[in-house]
Structure 1
Amino acid sequence: MKKVYSGLFRSAALAGVVGLSLSGVGAVAQVAAVERGFVSPPNEAKPMVRWWWFGPAVEKPEIRRELEQMKADGLGGAELAFVYPEVLDDAAKGLKNEAFLSPGMLGAVTYAQAEGRRLGLRIDLTLCSGWPYGGPATTLEEAAGRLRMVALPLANGALPMVKLGDGDQVVGRFVAQGDAKKWDAATAKPVTDGAVPAGSSSSSDRVALFFVAGHTKQMVKRAAVGAEGYVLDPFSKEAVATHLKAVGEPLVKAFGGTPPYAIFSDSLEAYGADWTPKLPEEFKKRRGYDLMVHLPELWAGGTAAADKVRHDYGRTLTELVDDNYLVQINDWAKAHGTKFRSQTYGEPAVSLSSQRLVDLAEGEGPQWRAFSTLRWATSANHDFGKTVTSGETFTWLHSPVFRATPLDMKAEADIDFIMGENQLIYHGWPYSAPQVGEPGWSLYAAAVFNDHNPWHPVMPAVSSYIGRMSYLMRQGKAANQVAVLLPTDDAWAGFSPGKVTVSGAMAKLISPGLMSAVLMAGYNLDYTDADAVNRVGVGHPVLVLPPTDRIPVETLRKIAAYVKGGGKVVAVGRVPSMDEEGAASAEVTRLAGELFGGEHFVADVGGLGEALRKLAAPDLLMTPGGSEAVGFIRRKLTDGDVYFVVNTSNEAVKATARFGTSYKVGAQWNPETGAEVGMVSAADTAIELAPYESAVYVFSGRPAGNAVGAGEFTAVNDLSRDWKVTFTSAAKTVNEAALTDWMADPATLHYSGEAVYSREFTLAAAPKGPVYLEIEGGKALPGSPSSPPEHRALGADGLPDPKVTGTGPGMHAYFEPPIREAALVTINGNAAGALWHPPYRLDVSKLLKPGVNHIEIKVYNTALNAWSALPPHDYKPLVEKYGDRFQMQDLNRVQALPSGLLGSIHLVTQGAQ
Structure 2
Amino acid sequence: MPMRKLWVSLAAATLAVAATSGVLPAQNLHQQFLHPPDDAKPMVRWWWFGPAVTADEIRKEIDQMHAGGFGGFELASVYPLAVDDPAKGIKNLRYTSPEMVNMLQVAQQHGRELGMRVDLTLGSGWPFGGPHIPLEMAAERLKLVALAYNDRTSPPPVQPGERLIAKFVAAGTPEHWDHAAPKEFYGNALPSVDGHVRQTNRIYDYGAEQPHDVVLYFIASHTKQMVKRAAVGGEGYVLDHMKRAAIDTHNREVSDKLLQGFAGNKPPYAVFSDSLEVYGSDWTGSLPEEFKKRRGYDLIPHLPELWQGGTPQAEAVRHDWGVTLSDLVRENYLKPMADFAAAHGTKFRSQTYGEPAATLIDDLTPQLAEGEGPQWNQFSFTRWASSANHLFHRSVTSAETWTWLHSPAFRATPLDMKVEADRMFLEGVNQMIAHGWPYSPPYAQEPGYSLYAAAVFNAHNPWWPVMPAVTRYLQRVSWLLRQGEPANDVAILLPEDDAQAAFVPGHVSVTEGMKQRITPELMKTVLNSGHNADYVDGPALEQVTLRSRVLLIPPTTRMPLQEAQAIAAYRQRGGKVIFVDTVPSLAPGLQDAKDTPALQAVIAALGSSATRTSMAGLSDTLRSIVPAAFDVSATGGAVGFIQRSLPDRDVYFVANTSPETKTFPLHVSSTHRTLTWWEIESGTTAHASNGETVTLPPYGSRVLIASDEAAAHLRPAPEHEVSAVPLTQWQVRFPGSASSAAVPQHAVVDTDWTADPATRFYSGAAVYMTHFAVQSRSGQHLLLRFADGKALPDTQPANKPGIRAWYDAPIREAATVLVNGKEAGVLWHPPYALDITPFARTGDNTVEIRVYNTAINALAGQPPRDYTALKAKYGDRFQMQDMNDLQPVPSGIIGPVQVVTMQLEK
Q: Same fold (TM over 0.5)?
A: yes
Output the CA distance in 2 between the equivalents of 1:53 and 1:209: 47
Output the CA distance in 2 between the equivalents of 1:890 and 1:614: 48
Using the TM superposition, give the Cα deviation of residue 595 of structure 1 relative to its aligned residue in structure 2, in angstroms.
3.0
Whether the 8 Å contact between 1:49 and 1:79 is mirrored in structure 2 is yes
Give 2:364's aligned residue.
356
Output the CA distance in 2 between the equivalents of 1:345 and 1:231: 16
Structure 1 pair 151/336, CA: closer, same or farther in 2 (3 Å)? same
Question: 1:222 aligned to 199, 209, 229, which one?
Answer: 229
* Matched residue type, 2:35: S
* Matched residue type, 1:246: E
* Matched residue type, 1:763: V
* Matched residue type, 1:777: D
Using the TM superposition, give the Cα deviation of residue 910 of structure 1 relative to its aligned residue in structure 2, in angstroms.
5.5
Question: 2:850 aligned to 849, 858, 868, which one?
Answer: 858
Q: Does 1:876 align with 2:885?
A: no
Give 1:123's aligned residue.
118
* Matched residue type, 2:166: G
Whether the 8 Å contact between 2:171 and 2:178 is mirrored in structure 1 is yes
Give 1:189's aligned residue.
184
Give 2:904's aligned residue.
911
Aligned length: 863
Output the CA distance in 1 between the equivalents of 2:214 and 2:481: 60
Whether the 8 Å contact between 1:644 and 1:695 is mirrored in structure 2 is yes
Using the TM superposition, give the Cα deviation of residue 205 of structure 1 relative to its aligned residue in structure 2, in angstroms.
2.7
CA deviations over 1:802-847 (Å, ceiling 9, x no partner): xxxxx37x30011010000000111111111110000122222211
Q: Does 1:648 align with 2:657?
A: yes
2:631 aligned counterpart, secondary structure: strand
Using the TM superposition, give the Cα deviation of residue 663 of structure 1 relative to its aligned residue in structure 2, in angstroms.
1.6
Structure 1 pair 60/678, CA: closer, same or farther in 2 (3 Å)? same
CA deviations over 1:77-112 (Å, ceiling 9, x no partner): 000000000011111111111111112111111111
Question: 2:666 aligned to 657, 665, 668, which one?
Answer: 657
Using the TM superposition, give the Cα deviation of residue 537 of structure 1 relative to its aligned residue in structure 2, in angstroms.
3.5
1:436 aligned counterpart, secondary structure: coil
Output the CA distance in 2 between the equivalents of 1:49 and 1:662: 39
Output the CA distance in 1 between the equivalents of 2:465 and 2:216: 64
Question: 1:629 aligned to 624, 630, 638, which one?
Answer: 638
1:391 aligned counterpart, secondary structure: strand
1:655 aligned counterpart, secondary structure: strand
1:484 aligned counterpart, secondary structure: strand
Q: Does 1:743 align with 2:738?
A: no
Using the TM superposition, give the Cα deviation of residue 29 of structure 1 relative to its aligned residue in structure 2, in angstroms.
8.0
Whether the 8 Å contact between 1:56 and 1:98 is mirrored in structure 2 is yes
CA deviations over 1:284-330 (Å, ceiling 9, x no partner): 11111111111111111111211111111100000110111111000
Equivalent residues in 2 for 1:274-353, closer than 5 Å: 274-353=282-361
Whether the 8 Å contact between 1:149 and 1:209 is mirrored in structure 2 is yes
Give 2:765's aligned residue.
754
Whether the 8 Å contact between 2:490 and 2:534 is mirrored in structure 1 is yes
Give 1:24's aligned residue.
none
2:584 aligned counterpart, secondary structure: coil
Q: Return 167-176 or 199-208, whichever deviates more.
A: 199-208
Q: Return 524-533 or 289-298, whichever deviates more.
A: 289-298
Give 1:3's aligned residue.
none
Give 1:779's aligned residue.
790
1:51 aligned counterpart, secondary structure: strand
Aligned identity (percent) is 49
Using the TM superposition, give the Cα deviation of residue 708 of structure 1 relative to its aligned residue in structure 2, in angstroms.
3.4
Whether the 8 Å contact between 2:276 and 2:353 is mirrored in structure 1 is yes
Q: Does 1:382 align with 2:376?
A: no
Q: Does 1:82 align with 2:86?
A: no
Using the TM superposition, give the Cα deviation of residue 619 of structure 1 relative to its aligned residue in structure 2, in angstroms.
0.8
Equivalent residues in 2 for 1:344-743, closer than 5 Å: 344-581=352-589, 583=593, 585-595=596-606, 600-603=611-614, 605-622=615-632, 625-673=634-682, 675-681=683-689, 683-714=690-721, 716-730=723-737, 731-732=740-741, 734-743=745-754
CA deviations over 1:434-470 (Å, ceiling 9, x no partner): 1122011100000000011100111000000001100
CA deviations over 1:196-243 (Å, ceiling 9, x no partner): 722498522311000000111100000000100000000011100100
Structure 1 pair 520/585, CA: closer, same or farther in 2 (3 Å)? same
Question: 1:253 aligned to 257, 260, 283, which one?
Answer: 260
Q: Does 1:168 align with 2:162?
A: yes
2:733 aligned counterpart, secondary structure: strand
Output the CA distance in 2 between the equivalents of 1:587 and 1:543: 21
TM-score by length of 2: 0.93
Q: Does 1:69 align with 2:84?
A: no
Using the TM superposition, give the Cα deviation of residue 554 of structure 1 relative to its aligned residue in structure 2, in angstroms.
1.4
Equivalent residues in 2 for 1:773-812, closer than 5 Å: 773-783=784-794, 793=799, 807=800, 810-812=802-804
* Matched residue type, 2:723: V
Whether the 8 Å contact between 1:676 and 1:705 is mirrored in structure 2 is no
Whether the 8 Å contact between 2:728 and 2:770 is mirrored in structure 1 is no
Q: Return 774-783 or 753-762, whichever deviates more.
A: 774-783
Structure 1 pair 173/510, CA: closer, same or farther in 2 (3 Å)? same
CA deviations over 1:755-790 (Å, ceiling 9, x no partner): 111111111115524433222321100028xxxx8x
Using the TM superposition, give the Cα deviation of residue 496 of structure 1 relative to its aligned residue in structure 2, in angstroms.
2.2
Whether the 8 Å contact between 2:78 and 2:230 is mirrored in structure 1 is yes
Question: 1:148 aligned to 143, 150, 157, which one?
Answer: 143
Output the CA distance in 2 between the equivalents of 1:128 and 1:178: 46
Output the CA distance in 2 between the equivalents of 1:165 and 1:217: 13
Whether the 8 Å contact between 2:552 and 2:578 is mirrored in structure 1 is yes
Whether the 8 Å contact between 1:766 and 1:848 is mirrored in structure 2 is no
Give 1:107's aligned residue.
102
1:434 aligned counterpart, secondary structure: coil
Output the CA distance in 1 between the equivalents of 2:798 and 2:871: 26
Give the superposed CA RMSD.
1.9
* Matched residue type, 1:41: P
Output the CA distance in 1 between the equivalents of 2:778 and 2:750: 27
Question: 1:35 aligned to 11, 20, 30, which one?
Answer: 30
Give 1:19's aligned residue.
none
Structure 1 pair 877/446, CA: closer, same or farther in 2 (3 Å)? same
1:585 aligned counterpart, secondary structure: helix
Whether the 8 Å contact between 1:259 and 1:338 is mirrored in structure 2 is yes
Question: 1:889 aligned to 851, 866, 881, which one?
Answer: 881
Whether the 8 Å contact between 1:571 and 1:596 is mirrored in structure 2 is no
Give 1:16's aligned residue.
none
Give 1:45's aligned residue.
40
Output the CA distance in 2 between the equivalents of 1:241 and 1:270: 18
Using the TM superposition, give the Cα deviation of residue 159 of structure 1 relative to its aligned residue in structure 2, in angstroms.
5.9
Using the TM superposition, give the Cα deviation of residue 594 of structure 1 relative to its aligned residue in structure 2, in angstroms.
3.6
Output the CA distance in 2 between the equivalents of 1:102 and 1:671: 46
Output the CA distance in 2 between the equivalents of 1:162 and 1:836: 66
2:862 aligned counterpart, secondary structure: coil
Output the CA distance in 2 between the equivalents of 1:197 and 1:546: 45
Q: Which runs of 4+ in 1 moved over 4 A?
A: 158-161, 596-599
Asked which structure has the greater RCO (Cα within 8 Å, sep 6+), the reply is 1
Q: Return 901-910 or 394-403, whichever deviates more.
A: 901-910
